[in-house]
Amino acid sequence: MKKFVLFAPLLLLLLSGCLAQTQPASFPTLDGTALNQTAVAQTTLDSMATQEQQPILTDTPVSTQTPIPTIDRTRPLIQSPTAEIPCNISSAGYPLDITIPDGTVMSPGQVFSKTWRLENVGSCTWTRLYSVTFFSGNSLNAFQTHYLLSEVQPGNVIDITVDMVAPDVPGTYQSNWMLVDPNGELFGIGPNGDAPFWARIEVVAQATDTPTPSPTRTITPVVFVMGSVNLISGDTFDLDTGLRNTETLEDPDFNYIYGGDPPFVLNTLNGALWAVFGEEEPSLEDCQNASLSGDPISFTEVPFGTYLCYQTTEMLPGWLLINGFADESLAIRFLTWSMP
């Protein structure tokens, strides 16, 4: 019994030691929010301490250089001068000859209408005060001035019609025409706007039913210009163009003087030649074979019906007929042949 009493406390002591080994040790629980706040606070303190230890850097001024201005070496564009468009200049329309193309065959005395198409390539409007006028050659019995029927703006075209009559004498005829502005300035077509436009026809005698021997081939003289005109004292006349007292005449062929002694005098000019032929109409061969001179031809009374043969300043042959006289005005007819 005494041994048991001593053994019991010892047994209790051993049991308590075993229990202490088998039970897990207890640790205090950590609060996550508190830990995060602690870490943030510690980081802030470390950062402040670091900033207090680092020296404050100041900006050192950097020397700057004034930039050198760049010279603009770009060459300026070379601008071609704009060509000034003339006020009055015409161009051939398409087509130019609306009617009666060159070389159209006509019967003697045949009436026809020639129509040209012209384009205004100038900078001025052609008003109804502009006109088309006969310039040189054969007028073909047409009125010599025709005013435009409507205005023509730059870039537009107009068809101009002139009524004409074929001459009675067979041959080739050309009638040259130009435009005229209200100031009387002539202009036409071509690169410089100074060339005339024309009608060119061939007059052929009508064939008859009467049988004739085989004809010998002959060359028909080509009439360059023909017409009639009334001259007053002091007038000059050009037998190459059929124009009287115009500023465009550079070399007129003769002038007419009335009122002296003798009262009627015709004087050649600029190398023209002539001679009295007679009352018969001369042929081309007659005038080519005549003895011509540059002497004045004077008369006291008008020799009506007298023909003269001549050679113009352009070396073209022809004849002149003294046709009449009234009120100091001398009426003549003329015909100039072109040379083949």
For residue 182, the domain's CATH number is 2.60.40.10
Question: Could you tell me if 226 and 195 lie in one domain?
Answer: no
Domain boundary among 203, 238, 260: 203
Question: Could you tell me if 264 and 325 lie in one domain?
Answer: yes
Does a structural domain hold residue 216? Answer: no
Model confidence at 208: pLDDT above 60: yes
Cα–Cα distance between 277 and 305 in angstroms, integer? 11
Question: Could you tell me if 187 and 251 lie in one domain?
Answer: no
Question: Could you tell me if 233 and 144 lie in one domain?
Answer: no
pTM over 0.75: no
Model confidence at 176: pLDDT above 90: yes
Model confidence at 219: pLDDT above 80: no
Cα–Cα distance between 264 and 150 in angstroms, integer? 46
Does a structural domain hold residue 292? Answer: yes
Mean residue pLDDT across the chain: 81
- Read off the pLDDT of residues 272-324 as tens digits, 9 standing for 90 and up: 999 999 999 999 999 989 999 999 998 888 788 999 999 999 889 999 999 88
Does a structural domain hold residue 212? Answer: no
Model confidence at 72: pLDDT above 60: no
Region 216-226: mean pLDDT is 74
Write the DSSP symbol of residue 109: T
Q: Into how many domains does the chain fold?
A: 2
Does a structural domain hold residue 136? Answer: yes
Does a structural domain hold residue 230? Answer: yes
Question: Could you tell me if 133 and 165 lie in one domain?
Answer: yes
- Read off the pLDDT of residues 235-276 as tens digits, 9 standing for 90 and up: 999 998 888 886 666 789 999 999 888 888 999 998 999 999
The band of 66, judged by pLDDT with boundaries at 50, 70 and 90, is low
Question: Could you tell me if 100 and 137 lie in one domain?
Answer: yes
Alpha-carbon distances, residue 220 vs 30, 137, 138, 206, 338 (angstroms): 141, 18, 17, 15, 11
Does a structural domain hold residue 46? Answer: no
Question: Could you tell me if 269 and 177 lie in one domain?
Answer: no
N residues, the chain: 340
Domain boundary among 171, 203, 235: 203
Question: Could you tell me if 163 and 264 lie in one domain?
Answer: no
Question: Could you tell me if 228 and 283 lie in one domain?
Answer: yes
Rg, Å, the chain Cα set: 58
Does a structural domain hold residue 144? Answer: yes
Question: Could you tell me if 103 and 166 lie in one domain?
Answer: yes
What is the span of the domain harbouring residue 233?
A: 222-338
pLDDT score, position 190:
85
- For residue 313, how far is the Cα from the chain centroid? 35
Percent of the chain past pLDDT 90, that is, above it, reads 48
What region does 87 belong to: left with phi over 0, alpha with psi -120 to 50, or beta? alpha
Nearest one of 166, 198, 193 to 97, comparing CA atoms: 198
Cα–Cα distance between 293 and 310 in angstroms, integer? 9
The answer to whether 333 and 267 are in contact (CB under 8 A) is: no
DSSP codes, 251-290: S--EEEEESSSSSEEEEE-TT-EEEEEESSPPPHHHHHHS
Question: Could you tell me if 228 and 322 lie in one domain?
Answer: yes
Domain boundary among 203, 230, 264: 203
Question: Could you tell me if 238 and 284 lie in one domain?
Answer: yes
Cα–Cα distance between 173 and 322 in angstroms, integer? 23
Q: What angle do CA 174, 175, 180 make, to 5 degrees?
A: 150
- Read off the pLDDT of residues 104-149 as tens digits, 9 standing for 90 and up: 999 999 999 999 999 999 999 999 999 999 999 999 999 989 999 9
Model confidence at 155: pLDDT above 90: yes
The band of 164, judged by pLDDT with boundaries at 50, 70 and 90, is very high
Does a structural domain hold residue 278? Answer: yes
